[in-house]
Structure 1
Amino acid sequence: MRILVCGGAGFIGSAFVHQRVAAGDDVRVLDALTYAGREENLDGLDVDLVIGRIEDPGAVEQAAADVEAIVNFAAETHVDRSILDAQAFVTTNAVGTFTLLEEARRRGVRYVQVSTDEVYGSIDDGAFTEQHPLEPSSPYSASKAGADLMVLAAHHTYGQDVVIARGSNCYGPRQFPEKLIPIMVLNAIHGGPLPVYGDGQQVRTWLHVDDFASGIHAVLEHGAAGQAYNVGGAKEKVNLDVVSRIVDLTDASPSQVKHVEDRLGHDRRYALDSSKLRQLAGWAPRVDFDEGGLESTVHWYRDHEWWWRPLVETAEYRAYYRRVYDRDPDF
């Protein structure tokens, strides 16, 4: 299959590209190579890389030539950044999605939108099904929810062949060091503080990036047009417990854990019911968070300083870290 993977040089997108190239698909990547997208994530792969933004119709038209499907990973993703400056999130996540949808409609190809559990908001008990209303809490999740609605509207209005894959919190190799797990791993290894928002009792369901990538492929292959599919992890974890486990895996000191002022609009709990996708395609997560998933991720960051060191030494990253944590990074 000839697939255009937008955002394919990023964290989740590159995992999907690695899987599809290994399976024999012909992959073209469109990526703006912003702070979280890196050519190094595609090292060793025979892919055609087009550098450009998904909100640029010219770049999208060039990249989409002769493809049979478009899979969109390209997004601004970090909630903290969206709280500090939401404009880029609206531009990329909403306008960019619209631009891709128009190109997919013009070419008559299948379109897959990669989304997030955060579009549902927070849930106290049970798990979100695809029938739950969208109640986003942050500028990030609102921009993703808006994109999801445009995708569904494209099907209802124009009959486009579109599907949505909504994932739970991902972890694994090549994740930019601003999300919970990589930032805690690097701080723990280097003796820095481990800043935990509020009481740290927020609950997330963790999904290894390779499992999300395989779930997205299942949606691409088997998903019914106009439908959304939850791709959720199997392990529900309290944030503070995840940080404590990272302390154990890195031989850090528990005294490094520092509770800081809670994030604005912080969702308390996410959980996804993935039975719709399981019944459709037999998909299930294979990497166990407790039985090697988190530990292998910690080892990856230990062994790949060449990958993350150039990122954290940039002036932009240091300025961002100071804005969020009120201090310089210690690694």
Structure 2
Amino acid sequence: MIKDTILMTGATSFLGRRFLAYLSKQKVDVFATASGENKNLKIQKMNFLFPEEVKETISRARSSVIYHIGGLVNLSRDYEVYKNCLEINTIGTLNLLESLRDYPPKKFVFISTEEIYGNSNIPYTEESKVDPPSGYSISKLAAERLCMIYAKEFKFQLIIARIGTMYGPGDRIHRLIPQIIVRAINNKQIDLNSGLKKRDYVFIDDVVEALIRIKEATFNNGVNIINISGGRSYSLRKIVDLILSFAKSKSKVFYGQIPERLGEADEWLLDIHKASKLLNWQPKTTIGEGLRQTVDYFKKR
């Protein structure tokens, strides 16, 4: 019997932790999972690469809504990264989907990425050509396609959320914006690439709001792709200027010290009209307000 609960993978990720905290405050019944060991007793260990472990977890959860947030995010152009992304993001997703054979959910939400669009014309709509430039985005696109196949076979509703460049309080320290913020707070030198490429940034709490609305929304189609992002693009130089201002930093910034990633587009920009129409959702947080909150968060750490 399917239960009126949410199953979440990747509960210890940046997005997973923020989303789980919100759901817990709302007293929503969540079966949260993560691949590694953690101190939170409410989060169950589930490694995607072990099919029997995944199947046993799904059998216990039997949730009506699944948010598949878990996976590996790494945009590096490197053989080992490509291999790990394909194993975790693609094969891992396949193992999860196959485990749903006996307990298919009503709704399956797959968290994907803006990078899938690659060098397509901007702004990217959900119908834009996909042109993944990295092992990571290739692995996510392959996982999307697998989700579509299983959604049709098991007759569950699939929502693929292609999300922009997330940032905000709680972000992992190894990611670019937190690295810049920490160095700015400590008045240390900041070495970057050209800083000219533009990205479509979206504040973490706006993404959480969109995910909630996906659960509540009614969709006419069995398979739905929805862009979730800020709807505006900013150069890294603009982001750095704002961070330095909010941190009151004396850091010196040197551009052109780090090479650009191979094949990466000059600008990512998502068209979010579909999210507005289907979810009645718009990002609420300006880039300035979002970065101010993020700088304040890292100042207090």
Structures share fold, TM-score greater than 0.5: yes
Separation in structure 2 between the aligned mates of residue 269 and residue 158 of structure 1, nearest angstrom: 37
**Cα distance change of structure 1 residues 167 and 87 upon mapping to structure 2, 3 Å threshold:** same
1:267–1:84 Cα change, 3 Å: farther
1:251 partner amino acid: K
The one-letter code matched in structure 2 to 1:63 is T
The 1:185–1:120 alpha-carbon spacing in structure 2 relative to 1, beyond 3 Å, is: same
Deviations 1:232-283 (A, max 9, x none): 2144211111112212222223523342222222221111111112111211
Structure 1 residues 213, 123: closer, same or farther in 2, change over 3 A? same
- Matched with 1:20 is 23
Q: 1:76 to 1:27 in 2, by over 3 A?
A: same
Structure 1 position 114 matched with structure 2 position 108: no
How well do the aligned residues superpose, as a CA RMSD in angstroms? 2.1
CA distance change for structure 1 residues 83 and 184 in 2, over 3 Å: closer, same or farther?
farther
TM superposition score normalised by structure 2: 0.89
Separation (CA, whole Å) in 1 of partners of 2:195 and 2:80: 21
**One-letter amino acid of the counterpart of residue 97, structure 1:** T
1:182 paired with 2:174, answer: no
Higher helix share: 1
Shift of 1:27: 0.9
User: For 1:244-323, what aligned pairs fall within 5 Å after superposition?
Assistant: 244-253=241-250, 255-259=252-256, 260-290=258-288, 292-304=289-301
Partner in structure 1 of residue 212 of structure 2: 217
Equivalenced residue count is 292
Partner of 1:148: helix, strand, or coil? helix
| 1:219/1:277 contact within 8 Å kept | no
The question of 1:233 aligning with 2:230 is answered yes
Relative to the length of structure 1, the TM-score reads: 0.82
Equivalent-residue separation in structure 2 for 1:50 and 1:296 (angstroms): 30
Measured after TM superposition, the shift of residue 178 of structure 1 is 2.3
* SS of 2:141 mapped into structure 1: helix
Q: Please give the residue correspondences for 1:23-34 in structure 2 after superposition, counting only pairs within 5 Å.
A: 23-33=26-36
1:170-191 deviations in Å (ceiling 9; x for gaps): 0012211222211111121223
8 Å CA contact 1:164–1:227 kept in 2: the answer is: yes
Q: Does 1:55 align with 2:49?
A: yes
Contact 1:235 1:289 (8 Å CA) reproduced = no
Name whichever of 126-135 and 151-160 sits farther off: 151-160
Query: CA contact under 8 A between 2:120 and 2:129: conserved in structure 1?
Result: no
What residue is the counterpart of 2:9 in the other structure?
6
C-alpha distance in structure 2 between counterparts of 1:100 and 1:87, whole Å: 19
CA distance in 2 between counterparts of 1:254 and 1:293 reads 21
Equivalent position amino acid for 1:102 in 2:
E
Query: 5+ unaligned residues in a row in structure 2: which ranges?
Result: none
Structure 1 counterpart of 2:20, which letter? V
| Worse overlay, 113-122 or 261-270 | 261-270
For 1:221 and 1:9, how far apart are their aligned partners in 2? 24
Q: Which consecutive segments of 4 or more residues in structure 1 shift more than 6 A? A: none
Counterpart of 1:50 in 2: which secondary structure? strand
In the other structure, the counterpart of 2:66 is 70
The SS at the match of 1:175 is: coil
Matched ranges for 1:92-241 at <5 A: 92-109=88-105, 110-123=107-120, 126-197=122-193, 199-222=194-217, 223=219, 224-241=221-238
Amino acid at match of 2:211: I
The whole-number CA distance in structure 2 between the counterparts of 1:300 and 1:286 is 19
User: Identity over the aligned pairs, expressed in percent?
Assistant: 23
